[in-house]
Structure 1
Amino acid sequence: MSICLMFFVSLLMMSISLFMTCLYFIINDLVLFIEWEVLSLMSSTIMMTILLDWMSLLFMSFVLFISSMVIYYSDDYMFGDENLNRFIILVLMFVLSMVFLIISPNLISILLGWDGLGLVSYCLVIYYQNVKSYNAGMITALTNRIGDVALLLSIAWMLNYGSWNYIYYLDCMKTDFMMMMISCLIVLAAMTKSAQIPFSSWLPAAMAAPTPVSALVHSSTLVTAGVYLLIRFNFAFMNTYLSKVLLFLSVLTMFMAGLGANFEFDLKKIIALSTLSQLGLMMSILSMGFYNLAFFHLLSHALFKALLFMCAGSVIHNMKNMQDIRYMGGLINMMPLTCTCLNVANLALCGMPFLAGFYSSDLILEMLLMNEVNLLIFMLYFLSTGLTVCYSMRLMYYSMTGEYNFYSLHSINDGYWLMLKGMLGLLFLAIMGGSLLSWLIIPTPNLICLPFYLKILTLVVSLVGGLLGYELFQFKLSWDQKLMNFYNLTNFLGSMWFMPTLSTSYLNFFSLKIGAMVIKNIDQGWNEYYGAQSIFKIFTNYSQMNSVLFFNNFKIYLVSFILWIIVLIILMMI
């Protein structure tokens, strides 16, 4: 029995048992606090607090289910890797860190999971050990360090309350200045982990990790950690100026990611930008006060996004590690089962009625229409929805239809059975999971009263976006050539509004330039003149004098003897 199969079975069983426990908690409306006394010394005690409610249990069951499928999938995808055991252990550490974060009502234990995610994600991003992976790992780690520092500062501010169990103070202390400061720091930490503007550039860069890791990171672990933390903290900053700032930034992130995905040709980066767009959607509806809806979309999105990455991994595996969608085409004829899964996940992402994404995203848009938002937020929301369908149709068109554009001699097929079984395990939940979750999370029906033109607005925007995506890119080469004429515009839109450049070369350009000047003028300049080189010259001169002395030793001895006698005579005369 392989290590992957062993962990797959154990994680799946744990996931099912947690889901059953969650149903019991929902039916009986239970919340369980467990306090474990880790250490007691004199009058000081260290307590480990665990919070078990329907939300943490449901999220844990989803995380464990998706990670079990990812590990099963990895048995085939990472086949032949000499370090497979190390890879699986890293993935398990990643999942364990996320579980720590989910069950913690305490900022100290949250930091364990939070930093664990940051550290293990760095190890996984640099797994393939090349220059691109190292650069991606550094930008991922350093961006997330900003959030880690914010979390540490919030822990320091929490000392004012005498306990780090934030859950006791959220509602009663929300008007307090200290709680406002803590809220600001927690929102900053969540924005870095969930890659909101201006911290978005690390998310597509993290695609340097192996595809199974991407499936796990982008569905239910690393990027959703920030959203989950804000769901827990939502009472502290609701109806404040901070929530309005978060709403604006998250909607802008959603729009920016949707635009960028329409100009991207890397298969994994397109899916990564779609994750960024969905994270913006979760953050925005959360900042309006609908934390249940944000959690609902977080879970339904996790199902089809993990499936989407798994299908992308299977396609990349078959295409001999080629990720450019322009080289694909006609894959539906060669990989029908994988392409079916990819299409289902794509349609769920678009919000196709009665798939997993429809139940949450449609409800979010209708609640937005019921809410009091200004025209800018309204327009950005629906433009982003149209762009989501647009890049999904573009991805389908480039990969599924037309002629195959890569090697004429190929063996593309659906032959990787373990990968297919992992994908099929998620396929059923990507179809039925949204309906199941809507019954669990929203047991009481919401009455949404909208006029007919607003009721069908979501559907119309989606259809227009899909039509635009198909029409715009069906003449691939001609349109690409026309778009290249607007090079500056496409460069701006396709590069996430220059954010990767701003986060990397603009931040370190001046410091590197100053460093070069310091090395040139001080280390290799004045220091050499007055330091090493000068000392070297002095010692060289002394050694030359010594060599003259040693090579003429008899003459020198006689001369020095005569000089010594003269000195003695002079001294005697005095």
Structure 2
Amino acid sequence: MCLISFIFLIFISLVLFIMSLNFLMMDYTMFIEWELLSLNSSSIVMTFLLDWMSLIFMSFVLLISSLVIYYSSEYMYGDVTINRFIMMVLLFVMSMMFLIISPNLISILLGWDGLGLVSYCLVIYFQNEKSYNAGMLTALSNRIGDIALLFSIAWMLNYGSWNYIFYLEFMKSDLEMTLIGGLVVLAAMTKSAQIPFSSWLPAAMAAPTPVSALVHSSTLVTAGVYLLIRFNILLVDSWMGGFLLLMSGLTMFMAGMGANFEFDLKKIIALSTLSQLGLMMSILSMGFYKLAFFHLLTHALFKALLFMCAGAIIHNMNNFQDIRYMGGLTNFMPFTSSCFNVANLALCGMPFLAGFYSKDMILEVVMLSNLNMFSFFLYFFSTGLTVCYSLRLVYYSMTGELHSGALNILNDEGWIMLQGMTGLLVMSIFGGSMLNWMIFPTPYMICLPFFLKIFVLLICLAGGILGYLISNVNLYFYNKSKILYNLSYFLGSMWFMPFISTYGVMPYCFQLGGSIYKNVDQGWSEFFGAQNLYLNLSINSKYMSLMQMNNLSIYLMLFMLWIIGLTFMFII
């Protein structure tokens, strides 16, 4: 089943990619309406929007998901329910497809909710307590965005249809459209895990690693960014753009700081996803939607590769995820280590890899824009932190000696996993330049002084040096220093956000729920409702059954009463 799915998805991906090239060159957009039902002049119509953006995004999603499914055939080998896993992944991809091609809020909600539901099923796949907690946190955080989307659907009733694409341009100053835009921004912030909804993203690492590769590259977390790309007209020169710029900048900064104090391999990569999502959202809030889309696609390539390499390492390390147990992996797993380093360098923005083209262009456009000092600091400090935690990760896992004792089973012999990783390796190297030529046929004219031109490179070098110094710090001294320990705990726990948004809220919710259940559900509503009704009916039914079971004696008794009554009547 894995092989069939892989061949089918990669074929469709190639077809969609060729179509996207054609649509891009011809500047062509196709709007398809499919009438499902027509009754008394009221019709239910399904609409699809096919343009270069939706087609190329679908092509990338299908390419990554096909390689992830192929990779899963070996990673999940021995799992008795692997077919169910593949079906859920395909359902996940189908929901994403539905969201990408929908210009209609109703059909977007179907794909949006499909992503939320299937992601819950995938996060709880291993069926242990940690998975259930993570799944519930993921589902409930995303429900906030679903409710915001439902509210925006209700407010779209002020217009003629739910096809928002018709109204964005000339209704953008309207109060109703502003409100709809605010609700869509809220929905996108929950799905793309911006502050204060960030705590679910690292928790979702409880899912199998192939799912993480798919979720964190091109599907679930990018859904919010893609929705805002479609609604980008509402963000320009409005309070929503400024608010989103602040929140996404803080998310980028918070995730970068947190990743430098984390030791779980998958959580470090998850926090790097959060940082890159903040970068996409922030440049999108400034009005550069093509740049945000460009970074979304390049990030999808190297992030999927990063997770697949992490999966191969965890698979070989007998499910160890702590980077302090790793070391010297280049000696045991040379090809996986090479892929891992290429993906990390692409993430850092190493010149001429995929991440460089989008990240460097974003930061140069930021320098060219009229931006305040605080946002400027968040952009560039977060970029330095990206290099810092990437170098720290490589230092702990790739260099030195292996810290796992007698684990001599490490090797590069998972041929199917390696083949899946090779496809993404090629795309991580050449994908950025290819997309750059496609999306920007006329290059951006960015004229900057020499110092600002090399400023990004200097920031990356400074981040790398800082990462090396942090990796070499004496942990004993670090733990003995109370101020440093408390600071690292604060930064490493995502500014206590899980405690505020999850652990801090849950006890009160449980207490309130228990009180309502005890006093209302099992209390007054039972007394005035079902239980009281049941009690009265059972008493009455007892009398009725008594009469029916003793019908002869009752009949004779009534006959005697009738005779006595008649006698009294005659006497009177």
Is TM (by shorter chain) over 0.5?
A: yes
Contact kept? 1:117, 1:222, Cα under 8 Å: yes
1:199 to 194, 197, 210: 197
For residues 170-207 of structure 1, what are the alpha-carbon distances to aligned partners after superposition, in whole Å with 9 as ceiling and x for unaligned?
01000000000000000000000000000000000000
In structure 2, the partner of 1:504 is 502
For residues 232-279 of structure 1, what are the alpha-carbon distances to aligned partners after superposition, in whole Å with 9 as ceiling and x for unaligned?
000123110110000000000000000000000000000000000000
In structure 1, the partner of 2:145 is 147
Counterpart of 2:444 in 1: which secondary structure?
Answer: coil
Answer yes or no: is 1:26 the counterpart of 2:41. Answer: no
1:516, CA displacement in angstroms?
A: 6.5
1:43, CA displacement in angstroms?
A: 1.1
2:420 to 422, 430, 434: 422
Counterpart of 2:231 in 1: which secondary structure?
Answer: helix
In structure 2, the partner of 1:176 is 174
Counterpart of 2:505 in 1: which secondary structure?
Answer: helix
1:109 to 93, 107, 110: 107
Contact kept? 1:472, 1:479, Cα under 8 Å: no
In structure 2, the partner of 1:56 is 54
Correspondence 1:66-77 to 2 at 5 A:
66-77=64-75
For residues 438-486 of structure 1, what are the alpha-carbon distances to aligned partners after superposition, in whole Å with 9 as ceiling and x for unaligned?
0011111111111111111100000000011012212564565466662
One-letter code aligned to 1:36: W
Structure-2 separation of matches of 1:422 and 1:241: 44
In structure 1, the partner of 2:241 is 243
Answer yes or no: is 1:283 the counterpart of 2:271. Answer: no
- Superposition misfits of 4+ residues, deviation over 6 angstroms: 516-526
Correspondence 1:429-440 to 2 at 5 A:
429-440=427-438
- Matched length: 525
Contact kept? 1:339, 1:400, Cα under 8 Å: yes
1:502, CA displacement in angstroms?
A: 1.0
Correspondence 1:467-546 to 2 at 5 A:
467-475=465-473, 477-478=475-476, 480-481=478-479, 486-513=484-511
The farther-off stretch of 283-292 and 229-238 is 229-238
Structure-2 separation of matches of 1:442 and 1:336: 36
Structure-2 separation of matches of 1:484 and 1:354: 43
1:489, CA displacement in angstroms?
A: 1.1
1:329 to 322, 327, 330: 327
Which stretches in structure 1 are left out of the alignment for 5+ residues? 527-574
1:380, CA displacement in angstroms?
A: 1.1
Change (3 A) 1:522 1:114: closer
Structure-2 separation of matches of 1:525 and 1:60: 52
One-letter code aligned to 2:450: F
- TM-score, normalising length: structure 1: 0.89
One-letter code aligned to 1:296: F
Contact kept? 1:194, 1:226, Cα under 8 Å: yes
1:509, CA displacement in angstroms?
A: 2.0
Answer yes or no: is 1:258 the counterpart of 2:250. Answer: no
Contact kept? 1:4, 1:71, Cα under 8 Å: yes
For residues 124-148 of structure 1, what are the alpha-carbon distances to aligned partners after superposition, in whole Å with 9 as ceiling and x for unaligned?
0000000000000000000000000
Structure-1 separation of matches of 2:126 and 2:225: 29
Structure-2 separation of matches of 1:116 and 1:505: 27
Answer yes or no: is 1:225 the counterpart of 2:240. Answer: no
In structure 2, the partner of 1:555 is none
1:508, CA displacement in angstroms?
A: 1.7
Structure-2 separation of matches of 1:521 and 1:162: 46
For residues 513-556 of structure 1, what are the alpha-carbon distances to aligned partners after superposition, in whole Å with 9 as ceiling and x for unaligned?
45667899999999xxxxxxxxxxxxxxxxxxxxxxxxxxxxxx
1:282, CA displacement in angstroms?
A: 0.1
Counterpart of 2:504 in 1: which secondary structure?
Answer: helix
Aligned identity (percent) is 69
Answer yes or no: is 1:83 the counterpart of 2:76. Answer: no
Structure-2 separation of matches of 1:357 and 1:479: 36
Structure-1 separation of matches of 2:237 and 2:412: 51
Contact kept? 2:193, 2:199, Cα under 8 Å: yes
Contact kept? 1:180, 1:237, Cα under 8 Å: no
Structure-1 separation of matches of 2:304 and 2:373: 34
Contact kept? 1:389, 1:469, Cα under 8 Å: yes
Contact kept? 2:236, 2:285, Cα under 8 Å: yes
The RMSD of aligned alpha carbons is: 1.8
